[in-house]
Amino acid sequence: MKISCVILTMGNRVPELDRAVESALHQTDGDVEVVIVGNGADVPELSVAAPAGSSASIKTVRLSHNTGIPAGRNRGVEECSGDVVLFLDDDGWYGAMNVVSHLRERFSTEHDLAVVSFRVMDPEGGTGQRRHVPRLRAGDPERSSPVTTFLGGACAIRRSAFLQVGGLPERFFYAHEETDLAWRLLGEGYRIEYDAQTVMYHPQVPPTRHADFYRLNARNRVWLARRNLPWPLAALYLLNWIALTLIRERSGTALRAWFKGFTEGLREPAGERRPMGWKTAWRMLRLGRPPIV
């Protein structure tokens, strides 16, 4: 089973990119094909290379402009040949040398497994962020479990399943594209697992560092519901997130940006609508995360 690793970069984190690539190339029993996508930027010259005598390789692709995270990752998948594709942030790296061998074993024997979401650890020894454990009961990050979504920059995906459901929604640009993909995979009968054994290190940074975080977060939530949920569930999902946002957010600036994005999500085309069946919604409820939260 061949393993590929897609890394997006804006070309502005050269030492970090070196570290990320090295952690993928030097896996035990790895021979990983690394595809680096310059998302609107040249891929910088690397100081690392594939180990001598291995079939590991590095390929670079430059996109003419920043197409966003989902489109960049889709281009990377198009360029790679692995049966399983790892997505890695250019400022992250793998915490052990047996990540690939562990994943190869899982995907080879668990044929309905579509995605493995990794445990993200703070390299400074912090407690980590709740959002990095993709389930409602996130208090114990060392516990593996089935989940209904995953972390886009810390995961492994069966390439055939990824292509079967059409990949990541490119119009999203940033935010909730993984959940859109996850819901479609669940609708096809696949499993998604949070595996605490597969560790990726990543600096502890808030998602709000992105200038358009609140607007894109809200817009894409609306698109997610419009694309994937039966209308009664879509209404409950969006009403629930309006209430949660009003309770959580204290900044008037953040709220204005969020509701601007929410309005855009209602007005602008969301892309192809393929609502999940009620059987899938029931399955998500049994997994502990019904599609209204």
SS3 256: helix
pLDDT in tens, 210-243: 669 999 999 999 999 999 999 999 999 999 999 9
Q: Which amino acid is at 100?
A: V
Q: What are phi and psi of 89, to 5 degrees?
A: -70, 150
pLDDT digits (tens, 9 = 90+) for 163-214: 999 999 999 999 999 999 999 999 999 999 999 999 999 988 777 666 699 9
Rounded to a whole number of angstroms, the distance between the first and last alpha carbons of the chain is 36
pLDDT in tens, 116-145: 999 999 998 877 788 889 999 888 999 999
Q: Are strands 154-158 and 113-121 parallel, antiparallel or unpaired?
A: antiparallel
- 50 φ, ψ to 5°? -65, 145
C-alpha closest to that of 222 among 256, 264, 171, 181: 264
User: Is the distance from CB of 190 to CB of 150 less than 8 angstroms?
Assistant: no
What is the C-alpha to C-alpha distance for residues 84 and 6, in angstroms, rounded to an integer? 11
Q: Which two tokens stand for residue 79?
A: 């360029």
Q: What is the pTM of this model?
A: 0.95
Which CATH fold would you assign to the domain 3-205?
Spore Coat Polysaccharide Biosynthesis Protein SpsA; Chain A (3.90.550)
Q: Are 168 and 159 in contact (CB under 8 A)?
A: no
For residues 197 and 76, what is the distance between their CA atoms, to the nearest angstrom?
A: 25
